[in-house]
Amino acid sequence: MQQMNDGMKYKIDEALKLLCTAPADRQALFDRADKIRKEHMGDEVYLRGIIEFSNVCSNKCAYCGIRAQNTKVNRYHMEADEILAVAKQMAGWQQGTIVLQSGEANSPEENKRIGEIVKRIKKETNLAVTLSVGNRSKDVYKYWHDCGADRYLLRFETSDPKLFAEMHPDCTLDERLACLDALRETGYQVGGGFMIGVPGETKEILAKNILLCREYDFDMIGIGPFIPHPDTPFGNKTNAYKDDTDMFFVAVAVLRIFNPDAHIPATTAFDAVFPGHEGRNLVLQRGANIFMPNNTPQKYRGDYLLYPDKPCVDEDTGQCAICIAGRISLLGRKIGEGAGHSKKRLGD
């Protein structure tokens, strides 16, 4: 990673100070983040409908429920027609973007299959396409971009090289960051982000995570609490903020303060920690402006459990779409029309 300059050091100290806001003063921090969100991103909440189209994975990420070694998981992959059938309904649900997410099955056949799916979606719908399928070579990223993919989500998970190594036997932090560089050079709108409270994370690391997002000038930044999955090596570890879960919201608020023009989603993991949809509703009032309804057909949802207590596992495609419309209007916000591209690169 780059040598930190003095300016960056100063900003990290600033971020750290905000992260250490006393509980009694946190509401003021949340209000500040909400105000910045409103001024920079408006009241529109853009919907990015996610399809978890395959859980086939060859990686051994120590925290992830669909890691290759978890033999309890039934592996599936959705066929192109099945994905297209969902994609074609999305405009009717006011979703301008489709997010295709999967485990990492990095083979020439799978890479081609993904490219063909992207081409069909671009031809048969007006959706913006976001891919979230992990580390690949620059050539593969370029091929998918040529097929029509607009955006790519790849979290760096933590900015700390040592922690990153404990979490990822398959790659280094530098390799992950090189992927993010390659995506930017290829012309994607790039989404990064991290998990909050990975075991061993300090508030200094959290501050650096936030500043790394700024340094990379990400178009979208997804962050969510680390949740231990019992069938993984991190299964018996605990979240670093287990006894102060409001820190998850503090992290989002500080992220917004340091990244005023980025799209920030209210990620699903917040609903797993604060059930009854409370988590994601609160994040939308503390810095976030994007919601990602789950469009995965119900029959697959139980096999895409990156972490336990994932919400809406018993619901089917389309139900999240109906539920979210109510949630957003209750918050006094409105659903954004169109694709909701990056404000930084393409205007909106």
Contacts with ligand SAH by CB under 6 A lie at 63-64, 101, 103-104, 132-134, 154-155, 157, 195, 224, 226-227, 229, 269, 306-307
Q: Calculate the alpha carbon distances from 27 to 73, 110, 170, 191 in Å.
A: 41, 47, 40, 27
Nearest to 195 by CA among 36, 344, 42, 306: 306
Q: How far is the CB of 70 from ligand SAH (least distance, A)?
A: 11
Closer residue to ligand SAH, CB minimum distance, 229 or 333: 229
Closer residue to ligand SAH, CB minimum distance, 37 or 229: 229
Q: How far is the CB of 226 from ligand SAH (least distance, A)?
A: 5
Q: How far is the CB of 232 from ligand SAH (least distance, A)?
A: 7
Q: Which two tokens stand for residue 290?
A: 């994007």
Q: How far is the CB of 38 from ligand SAH (least distance, A)?
A: 27
Closer residue to ligand SAH, CB minimum distance, 134 or 336: 134
SS3 of the chain: helix, strand, coil, percent, to 5? 40, 15, 45
For residue 131, how far is the Cα from the chain centroid? 11
Closer residue to ligand SAH, CB minimum distance, 103 or 340: 103
Closer residue to ligand SAH, CB minimum distance, 57 or 328: 57
Cα dihedral 259/174/154/137 (nearest 10):
140
CB-CB neighbours of 38 under 10 Å: 12
Q: How far is the CB of 194 from ligand SAH (least distance, A)?
A: 7
User: How far, in Å, CA of 337 to CA of 348, rounded?
Assistant: 10
